[in-house]
Amino acid sequence: MRFFTDFMITGVLQVTAIWSALIAVAAIACLLILRPVHTHTASLDEARAQARARLRLRRQVKDLSRYAEEVHVAADRATVMADRFRSRWLAAHDMVERAFDRAEHANAAERRLAVAALLPLPEPTEDPAELADRARFLRRAVMASCARNELPLFELSEALAHRNGWDPARHPVEQELAVQRAVLAAMESEHAAALARERELWEQAQAALAQARSLRGEAAAAALRCGRQRDRLAESTRPRRIARKAAIRAAAPVAARPAEQRPAEWRARWNGPTTVMRVISSRTA
């Protein structure tokens, strides 16, 4: 009877000591678990700051992407405009070539007539029929030049009115030379105007081409900046994903894990009472 009483007292004391130790360990663990909630305010602030930084990066990526797209569209339009200005310049260049050829042809004809005019001419006549023929010849020569677009129409009106140096009493050779000199002056004026127009269109084409190149460069730079910001956003998001997976893995039920992956503390914690009961049973037996 005394042995049984001593055994019961000793067993109860051992069980009480063990459970007290377990309760103390559990209390300490609870305190350690609850402690970060109150003491890790800086970590929460840092997490919020990182979240704001990621939001700011997302906005920057969105703005840069929209800006790069708009600049790319503007560069395409500028390229189309540069092609149009180049086409206009090529057309103006062709007009310059044609005007130069016509001026050269008129100059050659004027030189031939100038050589012919060096020959002695008949004396001026007072015959009305001869004067009428000379006036008719002048009118026909000027009308033919206007029909070939060698003279402007106002020269025809001037010749019909006998103004601006048009004298119907001159010899036909002199009249033809005067007509050809007027044609040469008109061709040279046309060539000068075509050359000025061609130079203006060339400058416009070069300006449009420079603008298109600048916009293409800006579009490429904007796309590069957008890519860098996307990389920064991906780098800032990757640690968060890794931490989230780790937290999910850590928050998984311990009992649901394989035996080899369960913490040693958990096995020791729950094997302690079992070991004690086994010792008590062995002593009782």
Class of domain 55-120+127-237: mainly alpha
How many other C-beta atoms lie within 10 A of the C-beta of residue 218? Answer: 16
For 47-103, the pLDDT digits (tens) are 777 778 888 888 888 888 888 888 889 999 999 999 999 999 999 999 999 999 988
By C-alpha distance, which of 272, 16, 271, 21 is closest to 8? 16
* CA 147 – CA 101 distance, rounded (Å): 18
Question: Tokens 């004690």 correspond to what residue?
Answer: 276
For 214-228, the pLDDT digits (tens) are 999 998 888 888 888
pLDDT band at 25 (very low <50, low <70, confident <90, very high): confident
Give residue 206's pLDDT: 93
Angle in degrees, 0-180, between the axes of helices 172-251 and 41-116, rounded to the nearest 10: 170
How many other C-beta atoms lie within 10 A of the C-beta of residue 11? Answer: 16
Give residue 7's pLDDT: 52
DSSP secondary structure code for residue 263 in this structure: -
Confidence check: pLDDT of 154 > 80: no
Q: Tell me which of 20-24, 214-218, 262-266 is least confident.
A: 262-266
Tokens of 214: 């600048």
Question: For residue 145, how far is the Cα from the chain centroid?
Answer: 54
How many other C-beta atoms lie within 10 A of the C-beta of residue 113? Answer: 17
* CA 104 – CA 90 distance, rounded (Å): 21
For 167-186, the pLDDT digits (tens) are 787 788 888 888 888 888 88
Can you tell me the mean pLDDT for 7-19?
68
Highest mean pLDDT among 3-12, 92-101, 108-117, 236-245: 92-101
